[in-house]
Amino acid sequence: MFPALAPTKEMLRMDFSRYRTLYFRTILGRLDPKETWDQLHALAGSHEPVLLCWETLRKPGEWCHRRMAAEWFQAELGEEVPEL
């Protein structure tokens, strides 16, 4: 578990546009991307870290904070986090 990337309970009731804006601003905006990347890798030890959540992104209109975190790592560090 990595609570620093988790959305707030209030965010879970928001529509996509507001959620996305607040997630990038209030959750990711307070984190250093390289430090976060390094912490996730340290937490995973000798394994590749995996971002997991409960949403099923195959359903139209579904979204998830792990994809937003993946986009953030790509934009900030050039690190691709593929969807499995």
pTM of the model: 0.87
pLDDT (average), residues 9-21: 91
Contacts 24+ apart (CB under 8 A), 75-80: 76/33, 76/34, 77/33, 77/34, 77/37, 79/37
Cβ-based neighbours of 64, under 8 Å, separated by 6 or more: 53, 55, 57
Q: Which one is predicted more confidently, 84 or 56?
A: 84
CA 30 and chain centroid, separation: 13
Work out the mean pLDDT of the chain and round it to a whole number.
Answer: 90
Note the pLDDT tens digit of each residue in 39-66. Answer: 999 999 999 999 887 776 677 767 788 9
